[in-house]
Homo-oligomer: A and B are copies of this chain.
Amino acid sequence: MDRNSEKNQFRGIIPPMITPLLNEDELDFEGLGKLINHIVVGGVHGIFILGTTGESTSLPYPIRHRLVEETCNLVKKRVPILVGITDTAVSESLKLAQTAKYSGASALVAAPPYYFNLGQPELIEYYEYLADRLPLPLFLYNMPSHTKINIEPETVKKLSEHENIIGLKDSSGNTAYFNKLLFHMKDDPGFSLFVGPEEIMAETVLLGGHGGVNGGANMFPELYVKLYDAAVTGDIKKVRELHALVMNISAGLYSLGKFGSSYLKGLKCALHLLGICNDYMSSPLNKFRKEEKSRLVVNLEEIQKKLQASKILTQNKKKDQ
């Protein structure tokens, strides 16, 4: 694979898609169709399925494979699809990669195996073993709060020499770390660097980052696309305006629960309230109960008003007709 070919250079907003579910073992197919259409029409540059936001590690394996096939079917090549294959068992990662390949996905994403506490040399061996066997190019996925290991800059540099490894998504929230990666990789434009937390997308793109894998783009894809565009072109006034809206979403929708999962629960609950899909969350998480939900209803309305005032949501409405 030539990672400097145009098709392997990812840029822009690639939402980490939530996984619409009816219950522990069933996809919400209707919701999935609506969600995909909503996101794609919103102008995003790709879709990332089976990430943390997609509750990947909580889903039974048949569901994971089915979701890959169905998403590829529904997207119909309108945007590239990235498939999360993060797993503690490398053979299961490889099987899912095969499903991704024959279904027509474009790339794969893998966080470090998250059970054992690995050293950096063990991590390098792991990724090389994996990348050697993958039928599609691979993004590294840094997620130290969940995997207990940070992919150190020197490790990224070493792994970037593998022709099958084409980028990294950083969900650490640590922009000092991310800026070090950008600096280390500045002479290698074929290596794409994305951030997860939407609260830092604008600023990282302003300083050379390649895009955002932002959960909020499940709800309001246009907002994130416009913010990305403003950041790429250096339109700092527009960036400040739209970034404030993202911070409103973050404060109003992602902080209502008591645990680390507040973001995920808030996002799925909001998508349900927006009429897009079911809000079932797979174990070990549980959807918001009445109290959090009623606070979210209020906050969501306020945010929608602000988005309308900024002419983000009107377009959205038209599109859905």
In the assembled complex, the Cα of A180 lies from the Cα of B197 at a distance in Å of 12
Interface residue A177 (Cβ < 8 Å from any Cβ of B): yes
Q: Which of B61, B123, B182, B203 is within 8 Å of A175, CB to CB?
A: B203
CB pair A117 B146 closer than 8 Å:
yes
Q: Which of B58, B180, B200 is within 8 Å of A113, CB to CB?
A: B58
Q: Which residues of B contact A115 (CB under 8 A)?
A: 52, 57-58, 114, 146
Interface residue A204 (Cβ < 8 Å from any Cβ of B): yes
CB pair B247 A183 closer than 8 Å:
yes
Interface residue A210 (Cβ < 8 Å from any Cβ of B): no
Given A57-B88, A92-B60 in contact, is the A250-B206 Cβ separation under 8 Å?
no
CB pair A91 B203 closer than 8 Å:
no
Interface string of A246-289 (1 = CB under 8 A from B): 01101100000011110000000000000000000011111000
Q: Which of B59, B177, B260 is within 8 Å of A89, CB to CB?
A: B59
Interface residue A129 (Cβ < 8 Å from any Cβ of B): yes
Given A117-B145, A240-B207, A286-B122 in contact, is the A184-B251 Cβ separation under 8 Å?
yes
State which size class the interface on A falls in.
35 or more
Given A61-B61, A122-B285, A258-B119 in contact, is the A247-B180 Cβ separation under 8 Å?
yes
CB pair B199 A117 closer than 8 Å:
no
In the assembled complex, the Cα of A148 lies from the Cα of B183 at a distance in Å of 29
- Within the complex, the shortest CB–CB distance from A88 to chain B, in Å, comes to 4
Would you list which residues of chain A between 144 and 192 have a CB under 8 Å from chain B? 145-146, 148, 172-177, 179-180, 182-184
**Which 10 A-B pairs give the minimum distances between C-beta atoms?**
A203-B203, A173-B176, A60-B91, A175-B175, A57-B88, A234-B236, A119-B259, A117-B260, A126-B284, A183-B247
| 19 A–B contacts from the bound complex (CB under 8 Å) | A58-B89, A58-B90, A60-B92, A61-B61, A61-B89, A88-B284, A90-B282, A114-B114, A116-B260, A116-B285, A122-B261, A123-B284, A125-B286, A130-B283, A179-B200, A180-B250, A183-B250, A206-B236, A207-B243
